[in-house]
Amino acid sequence: MHALSDETRATVDVVLDYARRRALYADVPLDKPLTPRDLARLASGSITPEGIGARRAAALFENVLAPACVSTDHPGYLSFIPSAPTKASIAFDLIVSASAIYGGSWMEGSGAIFAENEVLHWLASEFGMPAGSGGVFVQGGTIGNLSALVAARDAARRRNREARRPDPARWVVVCSAEAHSSIASAAEVMDVDVAKAAPDAEGRLHGESVAAALDAHGDAVFAVVATGGTTNFGIVDDIASIAAVTTQRGVWLHIDGAYGLAAMLVERTRPLFAGVEHADSVIVDPHKWLFAPFDACALIYRDPPVALRAHTQKAEYLDTITEKADWNPSDLGVQLTRRARGLPLWYSLATYGTEEYRTAITYGIDLAHRIADEIRAREGLSLVRDPQLSVVVFRRDGWTLADYQAWSEKLLDEQHAFVVPSSHAGEPVLRFAIISPLTTFELLTSILDTLA
């Protein structure tokens, strides 16, 4: 398996041939899931004592397993938050895997970590964070939010110890009722409570509501989470007013910008995010609107040493790493073992330049507003809310959830698009989440035509 032989050369060639074809598909297949029963019938028996060989295994994946996975990079994938990795980032992801780089410590991966840090420093600058800000690429938004909140709680505990104050019986994190589910998940892992502050009628959280939550829970609050683009609607909280409150009260401010914070790269949407520059930590997911492959979340701290104190793992076998003043990404999040997952984004940025990214993000915003205007003009369709970023939520008047589900299944069966129902205030709705520059106005209107 490890020797350099004709067999292993052939195996690598088989894989690289498929990877090349998949990366360069002129028309990415949408595909759809199969039932467990169908997959058991078509794909069982691949794990054997002798092995089935590289070509047979690759053929099984290409012809059976891959078509049972919906392609998140298809222009018609408009559910959840799609993925649209650049060709450069896809190709370089192969190099990351082939290079066997451990990206957790400077000692072992300094070159890769330097490149990742170039990207993190650029993002921090775009977000208005001060020189010296930095962080780490982690698996995704859930791990990013968890890591930031662990650092926030550790900082609060240390302040209490320095002031000789006892910790509260239960720590509390404040967030909007519209916050991503990963905040509640992180709180569950950390065994802390969540206080949900009420957003306004448009779904935006404001400083006044945060102040009320802080008044109610006092020193038990160790962090406030604001959202830079909600998943369901793309709503950006009133971060400036929230930051004013957290700064005055001395409470950690974390920005969950997993989907939407990339819109700060666009001049006209940057004002929506005023106040991000005051955050103690932020996240943005490159595998969403920064066109990198799965999986990558950029976690950036205003003051990285605070995170180091919270996350650095202690063990005899790690002393040679942790006792040096090097930049070790594993000391900034909950993951010790890590892939250099920021490299595909680095390579793509270095290849195409940042202006291409601004243009691609602008395209999604423009298209969202254009299709919103089209929805307003169509009889039987209505917008639930005007889009802020690139998520458009709308309804087919008079339809039930069952109607939406049947329509969605038919759309996928016909390989037209992948649009699943969502909900708002108990009402079933539809949403277009626009990420890919290959998604066209004509494709979106053709989907709307099927609702007539």
> For 70-84, what is each residue's pLDDT tens digit?
999 999 999 999 999
> Dihedral (C-alpha) 227, 229, 235, 236: value to the nearest 10 degrees?
60
What pLDDT score was predicted for residue 349?
A: 98
What pLDDT score was predicted for residue 314?
A: 77
Mean pLDDT of 412-422: 98
Q: Give every strand in the sheet of 391-396, ordered side by side.
A: 381-385, 391-396, 427-433, 422-424
Mean pLDDT of 316-328: 70
Q: List pLDDT tens digits, range 212-267.
A: 999 999 999 999 999 999 999 999 999 999 999 999 999 999 999 999 999 999 99
Is a pLDDT exceeding 90 seen at residue 59?
yes
Is a pLDDT exceeding 90 seen at residue 324?
no
What angle, 0 to 180 degrees and rounded to 10, lies between the N-to-C axes of helices 106-126 and 343-352? 50
**Residues paired with residue 282 on neighbouring β-strands, in sequence order:** 255, 300
What pLDDT score was predicted for residue 313?
A: 86
Q: Integer distance in angstroms from the first to the last C-alpha of the chain?
A: 57
Q: Which of 246, 305, 234, 237 is nearest to 279 (CA)?
A: 246
- Can you read off the two tokens belonging to residue 19? 């990877």
Q: Band the pLDDT of 309: cuts 50, 70, 90.
A: very high
Is a pLDDT exceeding 70 seen at residue 177?
yes
What pLDDT score was predicted for residue 237?
A: 98
Instruction: Please tell me the least confidently modeled range out of 251-260, 308-317, 338-347, 348-357.
Output: 308-317
What pLDDT score was predicted for residue 316?
A: 64
Mean pLDDT of 17-21: 97
**Residues paired with residue 134 on neighbouring β-strands, in sequence order:** 301
What pLDDT score was predicted for residue 327?
A: 85
What pLDDT score was predicted for residue 424?
A: 94
> Dihedral (C-alpha) 391, 301, 209, 386: value to the nearest 10 degrees?
-10
Is a pLDDT exceeding 80 seen at residue 319?
no
CA 398/CA 428 separation, integer angstroms: 11
What pLDDT score was predicted for residue 416?
A: 98
Mean pLDDT of 45-73: 98
Percent above pLDDT 70 for the chain: 98
Contact (CB, 8 A) for 262 and 289: yes
Q: Band the pLDDT of 323: cuts 50, 70, 90.
A: low
Mean pLDDT of 362-370: 98
Is a pLDDT exceeding 70 seen at residue 322?
no
What pLDDT score was predicted for residue 328?
A: 93
Q: Alpha helix locations (H) across 61-219?
A: 87-99, 106-126, 141-162, 181-190, 207-217
